[in-house]
Chain A
Amino acid sequence: MKKGFRSFVILFVLVFLYAPILILILYSFTNATTIGAFRGFSLKNFVTLFTTPELRSMILGTIVLAVGAAFLATVLGTMGAIGAFYSSRRAGTLINSLNEVPVVNADVVTGFSVCILLVVVFGVSKDTYIPLVVGHVVLCAPFVYLSVTPKLKQMDSSIYEAALDLGATPARALRSIVIPQISSGIVSGFALAITLSLDDYFIATYTKPATFDTISTYVVNATKGSQTAIKTALWALSAVIFAVVVVIVTVVNIRGAKDAGKERAGV
């Protein structure tokens, strides 16, 4: 009885989380224009998705922006974390607190304030993509900082000292001793930065050029429009993204399980 209730609760929440997206994916393989009216099997949504130039450039733009912003955020955030870790307590606290602001702040406020500063006060044109990239780095870098900092704290600092005693330059010691020890934090920070940028709507809305769209801004506008072919092509996009996420999660976790196994075996 108790076990049954347990499974029911977990199943109920899973159905709530997955039913909409799975049903949408199912319908993306049909030629239906609304959910409920089941018609024949069709791949036309996928054809539209991959052949419409507007959709293709929107998807590509989102990916390029996410990778670019995540890369910048990872470099800045990692350097910041290392710098703050070795800084005086006061400087470290200052960086820590400023880093906390975009994390707790609402995205609407972050996007709006970056827009006002760059576009209204400094007169930077949105068409330069500078406000958009800056906005996304502001969004992502603090999370990279937060994933790297705990790794620095766990690091064995005596290895770094040993490297110096053995004649390594500080830069060399940093590269071959510190960075490898915090690399897992850097990688997960980078991954987190990519997902944050991909999921963002508000910062992009307030800082993007009028002619550029990310997946989020495009989808939000498309749901208000009446272009049925585009609307159902976006269902296909959900299917593609879902598949990509499942593959990445599976691969990463199988590899993670193997690594954990190796560690346990002492290899």
Chain B
Amino acid sequence: MRVLKFSRKSLGIPYAVFLVLFVALPLLVLLYYAFTNGQGQFTVSNFAGFFTDPNTLGTLCYSLAVAFVTTLVCLLLAYPAAYFLATSHMKRKQVLILLFIMPMWINFSLRITALKELLTLFEGNLARYPFMNAVIGMSYDFLPFMILPIYNTLSRLDISLIEAAKDLGANDVSAFLKVTLPLSVPGIVSGVSMVFLPAMTNYVVLDMLYNSTYIMGSLIGSYFSAYNWHGGSMIALILLAIIIAFTLLTRGMEDDNQRTVGGALL
């Protein structure tokens, strides 16, 4: 029995080694590069530089603004759509749900190209509304990732709770505000975490829509092009800190296994 248990456990060894080598080790290397200079000496100047330079601080604020507004727009579009989908009794509901997910499987760069051509038709010069275009681009790219988790949470909601609220005298609005909305928080949190962070870092969407303002991801891109590994590592580390803070903040509030749902449906 002991030999047998060993054989099953040992199946995990290649993946564990892989994770240590290519997930844990790169993070340690980032940490090392972020706090050293070109001569390999310890320095906090990359760190201090980021928080004292008005340009990089501006970039941080701009990406937070883009991410915040994008998340809000996605939430405002996704929640009603997910709610109506989850509560409807349409015959062809499965087809509709697939229609909402399908864009995830079409290459994002081609979808943004399509959006760019359409926006150019309406706006003429894309550079005139850079912030709005950034938000439209990000929302277009990430909307399915907000709809799906909210839909999943809402469709598993116990209807009898809402009926009970109504029996006890709640009207539609207060039943929604006091029962449905609080119970859909896990889906909202999953959706927000899948939209907010990419919206801070996916600088290609801005690039393709001719918005030359930097977001956090663009900083890494520009350090990468300049072979400045130390500066780039510091930005990566700051992003990582934001991501960790976000993950700790939302831990336990999220639905399990939401992230694999897109593939599971295929």
**CA of A193 to CA of B105 in the docked complex: distance in angstroms?**
11
**Beta-carbon contact of A16 and B140 below 8 Å:** yes
Sample (24) of A-B pairs whose CB atoms are under 8 Å apart = A13-B81, A16-B77, A17-B143, A18-B99, A20-B114, A20-B115, A20-B117, A34-B117, A81-B15, A82-B8, A83-B8, A86-B9, A102-B23, A104-B243, A109-B201, A116-B33, A116-B233, A117-B22, A188-B260, A195-B104, A219-B113, A234-B113, A241-B110, A245-B105
Residues of A within 8 A of B29 (CB): 113, 116-117, 121
Residues of B within 8 A of A234 (CB): 110, 113
Chain B 13-54 interface mask (CB, 8 Å, partner A; 1/0):
111101110111111011001000000000000000000000
Q: If A9-B84, A87-B12, A170-B4 touch, does A107 touch B257 (CB 8 Å cutoff)?
A: no
> What would 18 more interface pairs be, CB under 8 Å, given A147-B264, A170-B4, A198-B107?
A14-B99, A76-B18, A77-B15, A83-B8, A86-B8, A87-B9, A88-B9, A101-B24, A106-B217, A109-B239, A113-B29, A141-B15, A146-B257, A146-B260, A170-B8, A220-B109, A245-B106, A249-B102
Q: If A82-B11, A106-B200, A146-B257 touch, does A21 touch B23 (CB 8 Å cutoff)?
A: no
Residues from 166 to 192 in A contacting B, C-beta threshold 8 Å: 170-171, 174, 188-189, 191-192
**Beta-carbon contact of B110 and A223 below 8 Å:** no
A195 to nearest B CB, angstroms? 5
A130 to nearest B CB, angstroms? 11
With both beta carbons as reference points, the residue of chain B lying nearest to A13 in the complex is identified as B81
**Beta-carbon contact of B118 and A23 below 8 Å:** yes
Residues of B within 8 A of A192 (CB): 260, 262-264, 266
Q: If A95-B12, A223-B208 touch, does A201 touch B247 (CB 8 Å cutoff)?
A: no
What is the interface size of chain B, counting residues whose CB is below 8 A from a CB of the partner? 87
- Asked if B160 is at the interface of the complex by the 8 Å CB criterion, the answer is no
**CA of A208 to CA of B139 in the docked complex: distance in angstroms?**
28
CB < 8 Å neighbour of A21 from B106, B193, B198, B201: B106
Q: If A34-B120, A83-B9, A106-B239 touch, does A98 touch B26 (CB 8 Å cutoff)?
A: no
- Asked if A120 is at the interface of the complex by the 8 Å CB criterion, the answer is yes
Residues of A within 8 A of B178 (CB): none
With both beta carbons as reference points, the residue of chain A lying nearest to B266 in the complex is identified as A191
CB < 8 Å neighbour of A17 from B20, B103, B193, B217: B103
**CA of A224 to CA of B112 in the docked complex: distance in angstroms?**
13
Residues of B within 8 A of A164 (CB): 4
A240 to nearest B CB, angstroms? 10
Residues of A within 8 A of B25 (CB): 117
Interfacial residues, chain B to chain A (CB-CB below 8 A) = 4-5, 7-16, 18-20, 22-27, 29-30, 33, 77-78, 80-81, 84-85, 88, 94, 96, 98-100, 102-111, 113-118, 120-121, 140, 143-144, 147, 193, 197-198, 200-204, 207-208, 217, 220-221, 224, 229, 232-233, 236, 239-240, 243, 247, 257, 259-260, 262-264, 266
Specify the main secondary structure of chain A where it touches its partner.
helix
**Beta-carbon contact of A219 and B224 below 8 Å:** no
Q: If A87-B12, A108-B220, A253-B98 touch, does A35 touch B121 (CB 8 Å cutoff)?
A: yes
Q: If A86-B9, A104-B243, A150-B257 touch, does A134 touch B15 (CB 8 Å cutoff)?
A: no
**Beta-carbon contact of A10 and B96 below 8 Å:** yes
With both beta carbons as reference points, the residue of chain A lying nearest to B79 in the complex is identified as A9
B25 to nearest A CB, angstroms? 6
**Beta-carbon contact of B26 and A174 below 8 Å:** no
- Asked if A54 is at the interface of the complex by the 8 Å CB criterion, the answer is no
A237 to nearest B CB, angstroms? 7
**Beta-carbon contact of A117 and B26 below 8 Å:** yes
**CA of A88 to CA of B5 in the docked complex: distance in angstroms?**
11
**CA of A220 to CA of B220 in the docked complex: distance in angstroms?**
17
Residues from 85 to 110 in A contacting B, C-beta threshold 8 Å: 86-88, 91, 94-95, 98-99, 101-109
**Beta-carbon contact of A35 and B107 below 8 Å:** no
**Beta-carbon contact of A95 and B16 below 8 Å:** yes
**Beta-carbon contact of A116 and B264 below 8 Å:** no
A164 to nearest B CB, angstroms? 7
Q: If A147-B263, A171-B7 touch, does A99 touch B19 (CB 8 Å cutoff)?
A: yes
**Beta-carbon contact of A191 and B243 below 8 Å:** no
B99 to nearest A CB, angstroms? 6
**Beta-carbon contact of B110 and A238 below 8 Å:** yes
**Beta-carbon contact of A10 and B84 below 8 Å:** yes
Q: If A105-B243, A121-B29, A138-B23 touch, does A13 touch B16 (CB 8 Å cutoff)?
A: no
Residues of B within 8 A of A109 (CB): 30, 201, 220, 236, 239-240, 243
**CA of A128 to CA of B1 in the docked complex: distance in angstroms?**
44
Residues of A within 8 A of B121 (CB): 34-36
